[in-house]
Amino acid sequence: MEQTIAFPNDMELMKEKDLTSLHPFSVFNSSTARHPEVAIIVAMGEDRSIGKEGTMPWHIPADLKRFKTLTMGHPVIMGRRTWLSLPSGALPGRRNIVVTRDSGFCPEGAETAASPEAALALCAGDAFPFIIGGGEIYRAMLPYSTRIYLTQVEASYPDADTFFPEIDMNGWREEKSDDALGETAAGLRYRFRTLRRI
């Protein structure tokens, strides 16, 4: 079933707490501070695994569909290794921003940014940039994030080599969690969750 995702509108955002005081936007320049929200989107195992040998340890079609639905039309920020893992290059319908220290790197169909902060500044006009991985970029950008769209995979992956950083749940609340577990044809179970910074 197609998911409909409700992003907060400006009025809702105005009613909420001023998030800029809670995360490092406040030390940034005014263009970075224009983002009302910065979202992380990630699929993660029970052991916080997210990757293995440059790819994802699982195949969950419903997760890929959710990823597309949520990110379409928004800038997507990723590390160079995640960029290299994309099967068909730049993600269509989205501004692709690749974070790399290599000033000579010219990814086709994407822009580059020399740091996570430069990536956020690049998409300052958009109210909802998405951070799409991988491990290094999640770690660097979790402090700037206000939402986490999480696909919780109900399995552990001892062979994984890339992990999501620990989430301190004192600073986050569960905004939404599907009651029912999804299940792939191979019997892998998962749950869609949304976390919101307190």
Of the residues 81, 191, 193, 196, which one makes contact with ligand NAP according to CB under 6 A: 81
Place of tokens 């692709």: 96
CA atoms within 13 A on the CB side of 22: 17
- Determine, following the binding rule CB under 6 A, whether residue 107 of this chain makes contact with ligand NAP: no
Of the residues 75, 107, 129, 135, which one makes contact with ligand NAP according to CB under 6 A: 135
Least Å distance, CB 79 to ligand NAP, is 2
Least Å distance, CB 96 to ligand NAP, is 13
- Determine, following the binding rule CB under 6 A, whether residue 195 of this chain makes contact with ligand NAP: no
Token readout for 154 is 């109900």
Place of tokens 């936007």: 25
Please identify, among the stretches 12-20, 96-104, 173-181, 183-191, the one whose residues bind ligand NAP according to the rule CB under 6 A: 96-104
Token readout for 36 is 């009302």
Please identify, among the stretches 13-21, 74-82, 123-131, 180-188, the one whose residues bind ligand NAP according to the rule CB under 6 A: 74-82
Residue number, 13 or 194, with CB nearest to ligand NAP? 194
Least Å distance, CB 133 to ligand NAP, is 2
Residue number, 36 or 151, with CB nearest to ligand NAP? 151
- Determine, following the binding rule CB under 6 A, whether residue 79 of this chain makes contact with ligand NAP: yes
Q: Hey, which residues does 152 pair with through a beta bridge?
A: 44, 191
Binding mask 29-68 for ligand NAP (x = CB under 6 A): -------------xx------xx--xxx------------
* Interface residues toward ligand NAP, by CB under 6 A: 42-43, 50-51, 54-56, 78-82, 85, 99-102, 105, 114-116, 132-137, 140, 162
